[in-house]
Amino acid sequence: MTALSAEQTHAVAQILESHAHAPGALLPVLHAVQARLGWIPPSTVPLIATALNLSRAEVHGVLSFYPHFRTAPAGRHVLQICRAESCQAMGGAVLEARARARLGVDWHQTSADGAVTLEPVYCLGNCACSPALRLDDEIVGRVDAARLDELLDTLQGNEVSA
Amino acid sequence: MSTTVYVPCDTSARSVGADRVAAAITAEAARRGVAITIVRNGSRGMAWLEPLVEVATLAGRVAYGPVRAGDVASLFDSDFLRGGSHPLALGLTDRIPYLARQERLTFARVGITDPLNLDDYRAHGGLAGLRAALGMAPTEIVASVTDSGLRGRGGAAFPAGIKWRTVLDCAAPLKYVVCNADEGDSGTFSDRMLMEGDPYCLIEGMVIAGLAVGATQGYIYLRSEYPHACTTLNLAIVQARAAGLLGANVLGSGRAFELELRLGAGAYICGEETALLESLEGRRGVVRAKPPLPAHAGLFGQPTVVNNVVTLASVPLILARGAAHYRDYGMGRSRGTLAFQLAGNLRRPGLVEKAFGVTLRELLYDYGGGSASGRPLRAVQVGGPLGAYLPEQHFDTPLDYESFAAIGAMVGHGGIVAFDDSVDMAAMARYAMEFCALESCGKCTPCRIGSTRGVEVIDRIVAGTERSRNLALLDELCDTMRHGSLCAMGGMTPEPVLSALTHFPQDFGITPPAGARKLT
Ligand SMILES: Cc1cc2nc3c(=O)[nH]c(=O)nc-3n(C[C@H](O)[C@H](O)[C@H](O)COP(=O)(O)O)c2cc1C
Ligand code: SF4
Ligand code: FES
């Protein structure tokens, strides 16, 4: 288990302090930890469990149930491509294949340069501008191969300035 | 004098460059020394025209779209600030047929107002419903909602008033109002558009629900796939609290209502109301057996109203204008309007709020403009990923809950996804099974295991391996899923699968039997 840095431990403690008393606090806590650390390191689990009066197994159970929560660090960017029906009707499968090929990864994997983690997503509510994808917190619509290439070029090329 | 220019802040508009357009307009106005005020409104719902820029003129709001940042200089050259002509000019927004022919009740303000401006909200009829409700007894509020005929817009179409009555009748120290903003159905985005475009309307509806049933705490459970809606709602809640719309003393009435936004975490099943409650309580989103109904024992075991975003957002108008005003729209037992969402392969995708009774064909062609690709439309999925695939022979079915049920389909949350003739319906059927396998909460074997088997069986059918034996197996599997599943995830996944097989057998490598109805 990777140990948390002092700063990370402090951040987690702060989150627990401010959320622990809310009813049903586990999801808000996990969201806050992930927002702060980028993922949910295994070493935070006992801290969270103790603060919320849960067993570690309960925390693990919740972590493993929800696809949004990461139990391993992601790349510097997360690229989610919509695989749901409306985007399929507009050629989304072509984008999936292209992103996988260009990044040299399959779903849930991170490109070798550490720039991009590729994930499937099942509807972004942007179906009227299909096909759609999400890049970190930005939603992009009417994506064609050229637009995808452009996005990937920026992510993989301008890492330092980004 | 400063001219008001509207550039939507809606996710779809932003996804195709609205932020860049807004920045370009600001910069160009500064360069030319022209005074403008930019309002980031919600979307009018004409998604193919996004980013849709509007200018307030003496004659009314004039629209231009779809605008790219590169078009901005030429818009200024054409004097668009006074409604000047330009290749992207669309005339008065309200006269665009797509909008003019709608019946905007719940979405009346969306795209028109500044979503976070409470004065704007009030000026456009906001809070009238809540003020009316504050002068009514809880039973009167419930009666009004019942009389309006409003049914749940989240999918199951259960009468809202009856659910509220049940919660009102429960004696409990603590009750809750939970807004289901999980909007997991693909092809749907009306909840998102409402939350981003008119968040106070949802808040007002929740406060009214609280007054009606005697609940003082509300939660909005929002899917994590909606980052912009999350930001807007959080700001709206803070401002509503500051304005006394939320808190210990709602609009000075002495009645309390608090509201908190909670985020989901990527699990489709958490849209099912009992799984949602589990998730709100901090657990895995596993479906609960009913009874007890959430209305009797819901969140933290207390009586709970769970309603969809659009259901709740329809309530303020019903209270403001009276039940009859709402009930007068619609057909049969489907009263009022539904915000249909046109998606997939259509030339003019977007949001169309119409009274129940409009046909699929009108939506697909008169509004949607036919396919985006120019090829014939071949199949349409209505009501999300658990909805049946319909071929053209059903396009004249009126959209109301009962007519759709009669053809083995469902209106659901009103999502309509169109496919042209390049679609491989066997692949869509396979995807439906794959999605079920992925999103099953795991409680029932037919759903959890059946869906995985379903993928394999469809693969064998398509490959031509022991086809008739595997077809029989698929039938049997679907039957088991239908009857052995606790919720509609496992129970209705057979709908898209079997409808695809029935209507499009050739895609599975099957020649329709001689004498069968011609299918293409
Ligand atoms: C698998 C599944 C997913 C669902 N997803 C949603 C959803 O995303 N949003 C929603 O409002 N209702 C959803 N529902 C319906 C809810 O269970 C429930 O009926 C609804 O929230 C009640 O509110 P309403 O009466 O206002 O529609 C889903 C149901 C099932 C079985
Ligand atoms: S049908 Fe599927 S999703 Fe629904 S309760 Fe059963 S296992 Fe869970
Ligand atoms: S189906 Fe892709 S955004 Fe909705």
Q: What is the CATH number assigned to the segment(s) B330-420? A: 3.10.20.600
* Residue entry with tokens 């890049």: A135
> Mean pLDDT throughout B64-74?
98
Which residues 268-297 in chain B show a CB within 8 A of chain A?
Answer: 268, 279-285
> Mean pLDDT throughout B36-65?
98
CA distance B429 to B499: 9
Which residues 93-132 in chain B show a CB within 8 A of chain A?
Answer: none
In angstroms, the Cα distances linking B60 to B104, B123, B159, B329, B510 are: 18, 17, 39, 27, 57
Confidence of residue B519 (pLDDT cuts 50, 70, 90): very low
CB of B396 closer than 8 Å to CB of B418 = no
Confidence of residue B514 (pLDDT cuts 50, 70, 90): low
CA distance B24 to B70: 8
Ligand nearest to the CA of B438: 2
Rounded to the nearest whole angstrom, what is the distance from the C-alpha of residue B457 to the centroid of ligand 2?
20
Are B15 and A137 in contact (CB < 8 Å)? no
pLDDT beyond 80 at B444: yes
CATH C-level class of A6-65? mainly alpha
Q: Which residues in chain A are contacts of B285 at CB distance < 8 A?
A: 65-66
Q: pLDDT tens digits for B198-221?
A: 999 999 999 999 999 999 999 999
Q: Where are the beta strands (DSSP E) in B387-433?
A: 389-390, 415-420
Q: Which of B176, B413, B386, B411 is nearest to B276 (CA)?
A: B176
φ, ψ at B3 (rounded to 5°) = -95, 140
CB of A33 closer than 8 Å to CB of A27 = no
ipTM of the complex: 0.96
Q: Does A42 touch chain B (CB under 8 A)?
A: no
CA distance B405 to B396: 14
Q: Which of A139, A45, A48, A118 is nearest to B223 (CA)?
A: A139
| Dihedral in degrees, nearest 10, Cα atoms B441, A12, B231, B180 | 30
pLDDT beyond 70 at B103: yes
pLDDT beyond 50 at A162: no
Which residues are CB-neighbours of B424 under 8 A, at least 6 positions away?
B507
Give B425-516's CATH code, choosing from 1.10.238.10, 1.20.1440.230, 3.30.390.10, 3.40.718.10. 1.20.1440.230
| Domain boundaries of chain A, sorted by first residue | 6-65, 77-155
Give the 3-state secondary structure of residue A29: helix
Q: Which amino acid is residue A52, in one-letter code?
A: L
pLDDT beyond 90 at A157: no
Q: Which CATH architecture has domain B118-327?
A: 3-Layer(aba) Sandwich (3.40)
CA distance B371 to B377: 6
Q: Which tokens in the block code for residue A24? A: 């049903």
pLDDT beyond 70 at B158: yes
- Cis, peptide link before residue B496, omega less than 30° from 0: no
Q: Which residues in chain B are contacts of A134 at CB distance < 8 A?
A: 225
Are A84 and B372 in contact (CB < 8 Å)? no
User: What mean pLDDT is reported for chain A?
Assistant: 94
Rounded to the nearest whole angstrom, what is the distance from the C-alpha of residue B411 to the centroid of ligand 3?
18
- The sheet carrying B89-92 orders its strands as B36-39, B3-6, B53-57, B60-64, B89-92
Are A127 and B188 in contact (CB < 8 Å)? yes
Q: pLDDT tens digits for B114-142?
A: 999 999 999 999 999 999 999 999 999 99
Ligand nearest to the CA of B209: 1
Q: pLDDT tens digits for B338-381?
A: 999 999 999 999 999 999 999 999 999 999 999 999 999 999 99
Question: pLDDT exceeding 70 applies to what percent of chain B?
Answer: 98
Q: Which of B138, B109, B136, B264 is nearest to B200 (CA)?
A: B109
- CATH topology for the B3-100 domain: Glutaredoxin (3.40.30)
Q: Which residues in chain A are contacts of B261 at CB distance < 8 A?
A: none
What is the C-alpha radius of gyration for chain A, rounded to an integer number of angstroms? 18
CB of B278 closer than 8 Å to CB of B284 = yes
Nearest to B282 among A24, A68, A127 (CB): A24
User: What mean pLDDT is reported for chain B?
Assistant: 97
Closest chain A residue to the Cα of B17, Cα to Cα: A140
CB of B306 closer than 8 Å to CB of B298 = yes
Per the rule left: phi > 0, alpha: psi between -120 and 50, beta: everything else, B244 is left
pLDDT beyond 90 at B309: yes
**Would you say domain A77-155 falls under CATH 3.40.1350.10?**
no
Residue nearest to atom 4 of ligand 2 (CA): B487
| Dihedral in degrees, nearest 10, Cα atoms B467, B473, B478, B479 | 130
CA distance A69 to B340: 32
- DSSP for B438-479, written as a single string: HH--S-SHHHHHHHHHHHHHHHHHHHTTTHHHHHHHHHHHHH
Give the 3-state secondary structure of residue B119: helix
Instruction: Report the b/e string of B49-59 with b at 16+ CB within 10 A.
Output: bbbbbbbbbee
Residue nearest to atom 8 of ligand 2 (CA): B441
What number does the ligand 3 atom closest to the CA of A131 have? 2
Rounded to the nearest whole angstrom, what is the distance from the C-alpha of residue B499 to the centroid of ligand 3?
21
Q: Which of B262, B163, B346 is nearest to A28 (CA)?
A: B262
Element of type H or E holding A73: none
Closest chain B residue to the Cα of A139, Cα to Cα: B15
Q: pLDDT tens digits for A94-139?
A: 999 999 999 999 999 999 999 999 999 999 999 999 999 999 999 9
What number does the ligand 3 atom closest to the CA of A87 have? 2
Q: Which residues in chain A are contacts of B280 at CB distance < 8 A?
A: 24, 27
Closest chain A residue to the Cα of B422, Cα to Cα: A89
φ, ψ at B143 (rounded to 5°) = -60, -40
Q: Which residues in chain B are contacts of A92 at CB distance < 8 A?
A: none
This prediction's pTM: 0.97
- DSSP for B218-285, written as a single string: EEEEE-TT-HHHHHHHHHHHHHHHHTTSSBSSGGGSS--BEEEEEE--S-GGGGSHHHHHHHHTTS--
Q: pLDDT tens digits for B224-280?
A: 999 999 999 999 999 999 999 999 999 999 999 999 999 999 999 999 999 999 999
In angstroms, the Cα distances linking B257 to B119, B249, B270 are: 21, 8, 25
Ligand nearest to the CA of B451: 2
CB of B10 closer than 8 Å to CB of B193 = yes
| Domain boundaries of chain B, sorted by first residue | 3-100, 118-327, 330-420, 425-516
CA distance B292 to B334: 27
- At residue A44, the pLDDT reads 97
Element of type H or E holding B88: none
Q: Does B341 touch chain A (CB under 8 A)?
A: yes
Q: Does A69 touch chain B (CB under 8 A)?
A: yes
The alpha-carbon gap from B59 to the nearest alpha carbon of chain A, in Å, equals: 30
pLDDT beyond 70 at A158: no
CA distance B491 to B497: 12
Rounded to the nearest whole angstrom, what is the distance from the C-alpha of residue B353 to the centroid of ligand 1?
20
Q: Which tokens in the block code for residue B26? A: 């600001």
Q: Which amino acid is residue A103, in one-letter code?
A: L
CA distance A99 to B421: 25
CA distance B94 to B30: 29
Q: Where are the beta strands (DSSP E) in B276-344?
A: 304-308, 330-331, 334-335, 337-344
Confidence of residue A3 (pLDDT cuts 50, 70, 90): confident
Q: Does A158 touch chain B (CB under 8 A)?
A: no
In angstroms, the Cα distances linking B272 to B161, B183, B403 are: 20, 10, 24
Nearest to A127 among B266, B343, B438 (CB): B343
- At residue A156, the pLDDT reads 83
Give the 3-state secondary structure of residue B318: helix
Cβ count near A137 (within 10 Å): 10
Rounded to the nearest whole angstrom, what is the distance from the C-alpha of residue B148 to the centroid of ligand 1?
21
Ligand nearest to the CA of A86: 3
